[in-house]
Structures are given as structure tokens and as C-alpha cells.
Chain A
Amino acid sequence: MNGDRITARIDWGHCALIAIMAGITIYYLHDAWAASSQVRNLILVLPASILALTLCIIVLLDVASDAFRPPASDVAVADDREPLLQRLRPAILMGTFALYILSLPYLGFDVSTALFLAVSLLIDGERRPLLIVGVSVGFAALVTIAFRWLIPYPLPILIL
């Protein structure tokens, strides 16, 4: 029972972040070593990797010790009271942004940007259709035209 509570208190998201950083460090060290094991090649990568992995372990121990510490009841209550949508807001925005970036080669910067803005405004509670269409289309058109003029490369676009 107590073990379950501790497991529940472990910040698994934080553990995942540490695991990703440690994983990338190990992969990079392995790849650098395989490319050349000379001192000249590993002079920074090897000590920095060892330091990064040591710090990963220290931070992981810190996360584990946080789980064993008695929870601050007032903080937990405050978190529970926060609406679910509010807590998920960053994740929703990140998901929308990821879809926007991935759609750029297919829908072009003009259409993707207008759609991204419209969807973001809708998610954020904006319900006035004229305002949503006006802001998203107007902004997308303005920025697309400005960047087409500014940057020296052809910009993927669908309509403009």
C-alpha cells in the first residue's frame, strides 16, 4: 500500500526526461567512440558524457527522494482543483503546433498558418467566427507575404 503511494508520487514525466537525456548521451558517446577512439576526438565528448550521466543519476536520486518525502497537502489540493483542461493546455498547444509543423510541406505556410491560428483560437475559447477567420487569414497572408519578401529561399505555399 505504502509502496503504491510512493510509486504514484514518483514524477514519471521527469524520469522520462532524464532517461531521454541519458539515452542521447550514451548513443552519442558510443557513436563518437566508434567513429574514432583517439583522444583528439573524445577530448570533450568523453568527460562531458561521464559528467552528464553522473548528473542524470544524481537528479534521478533526487526525484526518488522527493517521492519518499511526505507530500505537501496544500499543493496537492491546489493541483487537484485546477481544471483538467487548464492542466492539459500546454500539451494541447504542443500537439497543435506539432501538427502545424508537420503539415507545412503539404499545405504550405499560408494555409497551414491560417489553420493553426484558427484552431488555436478555437481551443482557447474564441467563438466569434468572423474574428477567427479574419485574424487567422489576415495574419497568415501578411506574414507569408512578408517572409517571401524577406528570405532568400522559395517558401512552400499553396495559394498565395
Chain B
Amino acid sequence: MIDLVDLSGAFALLGSSWTPWLVVIPGLMIGLVFGCIPGLQTSMAMAVFLPATLSMDFLTAMLFLTAIFTGGQFGGGVSAILMNIPGTSSAVATTFDGFPMSRQGRHNEALGVALIASTVGTLTGYFILLILIQPLSTLVLKLGPTEMFVVILWGLTLIATLKGRNLSRSLLAGVFGLLIGTIGMSPNGVMRGTLGSPYLIDGIAVVPAMIGMFAASELFSISGNAYLVKGSAASRRVSFGRVVDGLKLGLKAPATLVRGGVIGVLVGAVPGVGSSVANLVSYSETRRRSDDPESFGQGNPNGVAASESANSSSEGGSMVSLFALGIPGGAGTAILLAAFTMHNITGGPGFLRDQGEVAYAVIMANIAQGFLLFFVGLLMIQFLAAIVKVPLRFLIPGVLAMAAFGSYGLTGNMAGPMTLLVFAIFGWALRRYDYSVPAAVIGLLLGSMAEGELLRSYQISGGRIEYVFERPITFLLLALLIMSLWMPRLIQRLRRKAAGGNESAGSAKT
């Protein structure tokens, strides 16, 4: 199941130099800080720090960005526990029991449970990825351009259907992103939509556009919201000894941790669904299996463990579609794909075939990151509890300025900052009117790839539409695409189930 030649190559890559490892701890710290501050997202940190990876080699860049990703998943849980505000969308279920634990004065234990659950979750996710990546790569190599095109459309539809109130709005965002992603020189060598600007010959500068839509637009939206800790939360002190008690408490529920880890990988592997749904599924499942389901929502540590282990392991799951298909399943993996492009590496089947040792090296390094998260998280909990109190008025202009610097660094001219500005305003407008920003970004990122795959399908088939009927996998994928339009209802039901259960438990107690 594991390609031992590539695996030994991965160990050689990771062991040959200290350089890749030097970025891991700073990456984890950045992720923890961005994750724990409500309003700042992990994907925002990855987008802002993406230009800094220009001077790194590919493996170091991947280690740095995945360390931010890993740190952010736990960071999101800190503000969920201390302030009842999920630092990231993946920590929603952590608030259900984390905050009640805080109100009972058990916030240290809750932080300890969250830390051990995040560590176990990250490890589970990447161990499963390590085992599955080889069989997946064999399977994926059987996919032709027609299947790849339908997979892109399917992923995009899934992402669009899960975000935003209105399906048509989010589909419009995805299709519009796909369309403008093809601006510039076509795969056929025709120049289109450049407005005569030489800056657009290679298309829209995707990374500055992505930073604008993910990071800057979100900062515009939250400006004016102080997100300051109020009342008792501000006076909450972190006690190292009681956090350690929390770690022990978390370890007493290994089944919850492992189940959360497995659910996180499975749910996280579906494009668009990812960690924001994985934590809810794991929480519902843990409560359903519990002998005392009424205690959930009242400060049950198992609820925190279920949520945090699932959101952390979903990172490994989301890597499946990125590594195997070259298709990002969400904001974080979209940025990783942009890092692939920046380093002239094409994701997808070819990546696993040609650079198997790099793929294994990233997985192995992330397993090590899981252990490091434990120590870095433990040492930083005190600091994180303090940083949630930093007013956003200092952070917002600082992050925006860094985005401008980074955009210039990516293009080497003013096209980067100008693209950042245009897409920051566009992204803000999309958020304001409840369109899916991830769908627009992923459409933009995959536009030219989708056109290339479609063109190749046309060339292979000679323009015969019956060709689709001769390919059962394409047919199956098309069926999945249509079915995915019903996904929002399913997720809504799941959310209602998870939240409704808590409310009923709460009302039963009072």
C-alpha cells in the first residue's frame, strides 16, 4: 500500500537538510495566532504568507503552509472555548461544549482536551493519507481529460452549494470565477479579454486575487467589529497544571478521538465540505453513541474532543483531492495549489507519479508537525488566551499592508497590488450579498485547467457527444454532480440536528 522507494526518498529529502524544518514552528505559531483571533482565518494567514514562500524550495514552502494550516485548526478552538466565538468555521461544534466548560470554570481542561484532540486528529488524518495515497494515485491515473473536467465541475458545484444562502448566487460566483480564470492566452494560443494589457497575457494574477478575495475582503467585512473579550472571559487565567489535566481527560476517550479523526478524513476528502462540516458530523455521531447524550451542550469534554479531532484530521482528508486530482477542496488547499503553481509544479495524477517522494515527504513532515503542535500549542496556550483580547483595529491595517507587500513580491510590479485591490473589493461585494467566495476563487484557479481538459476531450472524441456515454466513470461523476445539488439540504439537516440536540438538552435541564 505504501511505495517504499518513494517513502525512503521522502526520508532522505527530510533528513538531508535542516532548512525545511526551520519554518515549521514559525508556521505553527502563525496558524495558532490567526486561528485563535475571531475574524482572522487560517486561510487568510496562508494567503498573506504565501508570497514569503517565493524564496523557499517547494518542500519547505509546503511545510510552512501546512504548518499554518495545522496550527490554525487548533487555534480556532481556543476562542471557541474562551469566548464562544469559533475562531474558524471548523470550530463551530467546539463552542457547543467548550464554552459551557469555560462558564463552569473548566476552560483549562477544555483547552487541554482540544489540544490533545487536535494532535490525535492531525496524526490520524495524515496516517490515513499515508496509507491511501498510493492506491489513490493508481486509481486516479485511470482518469482521462473528460473525467477530470467533470471532476472540476463537480468540485466547484459542491463548493458553491455549501456556502451562501442562495444556490444560484454561489453557482454564479463559481461560473464567473471559472470564466475570468480563462482570461489571457487560451490553450489554443488565442489572446482574449486582456483589454490590451500586457499584465493579463498570462491571465489574472491568481495569488494576489486570492489574497484579495480571501483575506482583504474579509477584513473589510469585519472592520468596526472589535471582537473584544467581555466580562468574565477577560479575567480567565490559564493554568498549565489544569491544562495537563485536560490532556489526560481527553486521552480517557480514545474512541472519540479516533472516530473524530476517521470522520474528519472521510468528510474532509469531499471537495467543499471539509472541516466546517466534519466537526458537526463527528459531534453528532459522538453524542448519538454516548450513554448520556443529555450532557452534550452542557460542558461534556467528549463534545470538544469529537469536534477538534475531526476538524484537525480533515486537513489530511482535504489533501486527498489536492494530491490525487490537483483540485482544492477548500480555501486552505486552494492556497496550497497556488503554491504548487508558484513553484512550477502541476498538481494531480502527474504529481504523485513523478514526485512521489515529495508527496510522502509532505505527509511525513505533517505527521511530525502533529507532534510539534502538541508542544508548541502547550507552550503557547497562555499567549493565545491573551492574544484573543488584541483589538482588531491594530490587526486589520497590519494584515492589509502585509497583503500589499506580498502581492508586489509575487508579480514584481504594481499589477500585484492593483489586482489585490480590485479583488478585495469584488470579494467584499460577494460576501455582502451572500455569494460563495471560495467558489469564485476556486473557479478562478481552475479556469484554465478546466478549459485545457475540455479541449483535450474534444480533440480525443472528435467532437462526438456520444463519447460521454462510452465512459462510465464520466457518467457516474455527472450523476454525482447532479446529486450534489441536494447537498445543502443534507448539511442543513445535519446542522439542525447538531444544534437542536443541544437546545433540547439545555431546555430539559432548565
Which residue of chain A has the shortest Cβ distance to B404 in the bound complex? Answer: A101
Chain B residue contacts of A36, Cβ below 8 A: 188, 190
- Fill in one digit per residue for B406-450: 1 if any A CB lies within 8 Å of its CB, else 0: 101100111001101100110011101100000000000001001
Q: How far is the CA of A51 from the CA of B430 in the complex (A)?
A: 18
Against B, the Cβ 8 Å flags (1 = close, 0 = not) of A118-153 are: 001100111000000001000110011001001111
Given the contacts A24-B180, A105-B414, A150-B52, A117 and B192 also touching, CB distance less than 8 Å = no
The smallest C-beta distance from B368 to any residue of chain A, in angstroms, reads 25
User: Would B397 and A116 count as touching, CB distance under 8 A?
Assistant: yes
Interface segment out of the listed A2-10, A56-64, A71-79: A56-64
CA gap between A43 and B190 in the complex, in Å: 13
Counting CB contacts under 8 A, is A90 at the interface?
Answer: yes
Structural contact, B168 and A52, CB atoms closer than 8 A = no
Interface status of A104 (Cβ within 8 A of chain B): yes
A28 interface neighbour in B193, B417, B463, Cβ under 8 Å = B193
Q: Say yes or no: A13 contacts B432, CB within 8 Å.
A: yes
Number of B residues contacting the other chain (C-beta, 8 Å)?
Answer: 62
Per DSSP, chain A at the interface is helix
Q: Return A147 CB to nearest CB of chain B, in Å.
A: 5
A120-B190 contact given A58-B168, A94-B425, CB 8 Å threshold = no
- Pairwise interchain contact A151-B54, C-beta atoms closer than 8 A: yes
- Known A13-B432, A39-B458, A90-B221: A25·B176 in contact at CB below 8 Å: yes
Is A155's CB under 8 angstroms from B224's CB? no
Q: How far is the CB of B307 from chain A (nearest CB, A)?
A: 31
Contact present for A101 and B421 (CB under 8 Å): yes
Closest to A151 in B: B409
CB contacts (< 8 Å) of A105 on chain B: these are 414
Decide if A94 touches B393 in the complex (CB within 8 Å).
Answer: no
Which residues of A are in contact with B by a Cβ distance under 8 Å?
A: 11, 13-14, 17, 21, 24-25, 27-28, 31-32, 35-36, 38-41, 43-45, 48-49, 51-52, 55-56, 58-59, 62, 86, 89-90, 92-94, 97-98, 100-101, 104-105, 109, 113, 116-117, 120-121, 124-126, 135, 139-140, 143-144, 147, 150-153, 155
